[in-house]
Amino acid sequence: MKKKLTETCAICGCQLHRTKNTYAKPTVEGRSHASEHHYVPERFFGRSKNRRGTQRGKIFESCPWDDEGEHATFCYDCHEELLHNPVLLAEDISRLASIVRRRGLEEHKKTKSREEIAGRIKLFHEIIQCGLEVLDNESSQQVVPPDAQKAAPR
């Protein structure tokens, strides 16, 4: 007898399910529904799975990170609420815009070229990598028990 493998979210580790008609429901079941997410969006290569037949302009001819088509499985919460809706405050946008200008990635008037947006996408990924590296290094130097993490004041 084959044992059924339990899927878990690649970020939070919760147990996932694929029960029909529960995705995105405002219930525990809806929030823990399995959802696939491409590391590098398909639209960056001129295609979209949920808009079949619609052609978009390619931002990248080939994947700068060599991850085209790669994906992971997440719960609805981590996929839709966290990954698709990053919190960028006014100061964050201002700092990003400043870096964009310093790197020569601004556009005063749009052209047919997608080079600048490709550069901004790569820059944004670089910023995320730098932040993750700093926080990962900080947390590897101190071990916080899981109970203390949840009890910490916000």
Summarised one tens digit per residue, pLDDT across range 79-89 is 999 999 999 99
Single out the residue of 37, 43, 125, 40 nearest to residue 76, CA to CA. Answer: 37
Cα 32 off chain centre by: 17
Which ranges of the chain would DSSP assign to H, the alpha helix? 28-31, 76, 90-102, 115-141, 146-151
Does residue 65 have a pLDDT over 70?
A: yes
pLDDT mean over 28-36: 96
Single out the residue of 42, 24, 151 nearest to residue 78, CA to CA. Answer: 24
pLDDT of amino acid 143: 65
Does residue 66 have a pLDDT over 60?
A: yes
b/e per residue, 109-118, with b = 16+ CB within 10 A? eeeeebebbb
pTM, 2 dp: 0.82
Domain boundaries, the chain: 7-85, 87-141
Question: Of 7-21, 35-49, 98-112, which gets the smallest average pLDDT?
Answer: 35-49
